[in-house]
Amino acid sequence: MKVPQHIAVIMDGNGRWATSRGLSRSAGHKEGTANLERLLDHLLLRRIPVVSLYAFSTENWRRPRTEIHAIFSLVEEFITTHLNKMVGEGVRMVVSGDLSRIPKRSRELLLDAIEKTRKGIRLTANFCLNYGSRSELLRAAQEYALWYSSHKTQRPPTEKQFQKFFWQPNLPDIDMLVRTAGELRLSNFMLWQAAYAELYFTEKTWPEFGAEDLDEAIREFHRRKRKFGGL
């Protein structure tokens, strides 16, 4: 059976995982980051070619500065600790989101990691940072308008042409979208790319979501009947 070609994950519940244990929210983000490594290992094992990881949304700037700082410190720590391993295992790191607003050190490490992992062919890991679907779509519309006015083409864009202006235009559509921690919403994540995604929600928080949970999600994916509007 064909595995999902693109899994997207809204990694939610770090805060609740921590506070229910009397820990700080930052400790929850640390545990969530540790889980990310386990998830990447398992995606490689299951030969899933693309994963999109919602790590920081355009709305997450509303959080306290200390928490935002802790999250980006963890992004930096994750890259410095795992870059060599990612290169060795054939993980290609790409990013979706406007990096101009994130801390300079995070941006530099991310750009370096994107460059050093660019030849990875086993798993594309799309890190969504300062990502919001509405801003991605608005930006695409603006860029398309600029392109249109300089090319004087008469035809409106096809979906494929329009998608060229997304952060990661070459990734396949999302086959399955997983959200942890019980929230039943998309929170501005990949509204276009998930148009026909199978949605999978679980009560488990992100730090608790392990390999066997991913396997269960994949099994559930295989049980779904995908129709894409047909019969």
Q: Closer to Mg ion at the Cβ: 85 or 185? A: 185
To the query of whether residue 98 is one of the catalytic residues in this protein, the response is no
Q: Tell me the closest approach of the beta carbon of residue 42 to Mg ion, in angstroms.
A: 22
Q: Closer to ligand IPE at the Cβ: 120 or 179? A: 179
Burial class (CB in 10 A: 0-12, 13-18, 19+), 112: middle
- For 33, residues 6+ apart whose C-beta sits below 8 A from its C-beta are 74, 77, 78
Q: In this chain, which of 26, 33, 57, 202 binds ligand IPE, going by CB under 6 A?
A: 57
- The verdict on 56 binding ligand IPE (CB under 6 A) reads yes
To the query of whether residue 60 is one of the catalytic residues in this protein, the response is yes
- The verdict on 198 binding Mg ion (CB under 5 A) reads no
Length of the chain: 231
Q: Where are the beta strands (DSSP E) in the chain?
A: 6-10, 50-57, 91-96, 123-131, 176-179, 198-201
Q: 55 contacts which partner out of ligand IPE, Mg ion, none, CB within 5 to 8 A by kind?
A: ligand IPE
Contact 89, 44 (CB under 8 A): yes
Q: In this chain, which of 6, 7, 8, 13 binds ligand IPE, going by CB under 6 A?
A: 13
Interface residues toward ligand IPE, by CB under 6 A: 10-16, 54-57, 60, 71, 181, 183, 185, 187
